[in-house]
Amino acid sequence: MAVYKRRYNSYGGSLTPQWSRFFVLTRYAFADLFKSRFFVLLLILSIIPCLFFAGYIFIANNKTIQLLMQVRSADLLSVETKYFIVIMMVQTQAAFLLNCWVGPVLISGDLTNGALPLFLSRPFSRADYVLGKLAVLGLLLSAVTWIPCLLLFSLQSGLARNGWIWSHLWMVVPIIFCSAIWILMLSLISLAVSAWVKLRIVATGVIFISFFIPAGLGEMFNAIMGTYWGQLLNFSYMFRLILAKGFREESGLLGSVDWIGVPVWAAWGVLIAVCVLSLFILNVRLRARETVRG
C-alpha cells in the first residue's frame, strides 16, 4: 500500500508479541501526558518535597552545616522510622493529587468518542486495556512515592554510615509494599470513576471527593453512633494505619493513629474491598457494546 502506488495491499510483515501490546497504550499515554504543561508542572511539584527531605537528611548528617546554621542535633527530628513515615505520607498525598488529574485523562478520551470498540475489535482484551492504563499510573505514581523514598533511604544510608543501612534495611519492604497498595487503590479508583463518569473534569472532581465525602460521612456516623467504625470510610486513615503497622510504629503516628480503634486487618479489608469494587465497575463499564436491558 505504498503512498505513490495508491492501491491497497495486505500486510505480511512481522508482528510484535501479544503480551507486549498493552505497553503501546502506556507509551502513547506518556507521550500525550508530557505534552501538557500543567501535567509537567504537577509532576515537578510532586517531586519538590523530596528535595527538601533530601536537604534535611544532608543537614541532619552534616555537623559543619549544623554549626554554620547554628542548629543543634538534638533539635532536629532524627532520620529514623518516623521521618520516613512523614516522607511516605507527604508523597502519597502528592500521588493522590497527581492521580486525580492523570486518571481521567487516560480513559475519558477513549470513552467520550466511542473509541473503545476499536481497541477491543483487535487482538486486545479488556484486561490488556486496563493493564496498559494501570501501567501509566503505576509508573507515574511510583516516580513520586517509593522511588524517591528509596533514593532518600539510600542517601541517608550513605551519609549516616556506622551500619545504619543494616539496622534499617527492613524499612525497604514497607516503603515498597505500602506504596504499592496505595498506588493500586488510587489507580483503580481513578480508572473506575473515569470509566463510569466519562467526562474528564467531572471525573477529576468525583475522584477528589470520593476520598473526602465518605470520610466525612464516616465521622458523622461515629459522632451519632458513638463508635469508631465510621473510620472505615476514611481511606487515607486506613492507609495510615497500614503504613504505621508496616513501619512498626506502635506508639501512634504523630498523634493521629488511634490503635484502640479500627484494627489493621479491617484497614486491609477496606482497601481490598475498594480495589475489588473498582474492578467490578471497570468490568461493567469497559465493554465494546452497552446492553440496554428490558
Task: Give contact residues for other proteins (rule: CB under 8 A).
Answer: 1-3, 6-16, 18, 21, 24-25, 28, 32, 109-110, 112-115, 117-125, 287-289, 291-294
Residue 233 DSSP symbol:
G
Alpha-carbon distances, residue 88 vs 64, 71, 76, 135 (angstroms): 28, 25, 19, 21
A 10 A CB-CB count for 223 gives: 10
Of 1 and 44, which CB lies nearer to other proteins in the complex structure?
1
Minimum distance of other proteins from residue 249's CB (angstroms): 45
Residues in Cβ contact with 166 at an 8 Å cutoff, skipping those fewer than 6 apart: none
Residue 29 or 43: which CB sits closer to other proteins? 29
- Between 18 and 73, CB nearer to other proteins: 18
CA–CA distance from 227 to each of 67, 253, 273 (Å)? 50, 21, 21
Q: Closest CB to other proteins among 110 and 249? A: 110
CB of 288 to other proteins, least distance (A): 4
The grid coordinates of residue 294 equal 428490558
Say which DSSP state 237 is in: H
Nearest to other proteins of 8, 166 (CB atom): 8
At closest approach, how far in Å is the CB of 144 from other proteins?
Answer: 25
Toward other proteins, which CB reaches closer, 183 or 197? 197
Q: How far is the CB of 292 from other proteins (least distance, A)?
A: 6
Shortest distance, CB of residue 231 to other proteins, whole angstroms?
Answer: 40
Torsion of the alpha carbons at 92, 98, 99 and 103, rounded to the nearest 10: -170
Least separation in angstroms between CB 5 and other proteins = 9
Cell for 155?
542517601
CA 232 and chain centroid, separation: 19
- Residue 194 CB, shortest distance to other proteins, in Å, is 14
Measured from the CB atom, the residue of 22 and 235 that comes closer to other proteins is 22
Nearer to other proteins, 117 or 263 (CB): 117
Closest C-alpha among 95, 245, 107 to residue 183: 95
The set of cell numbers assigned to 96 is: 493522590
Q: Can you tell me the distance from the alpha carbon of 163 to that of 151, in angstroms, rounded to the nearest whole number?
A: 17
241 burial class (0-12, 13-18, 19+ CB within 10 angstroms)? buried
Compute the least distance from the CB of residue 87 to other proteins, in Å: 36
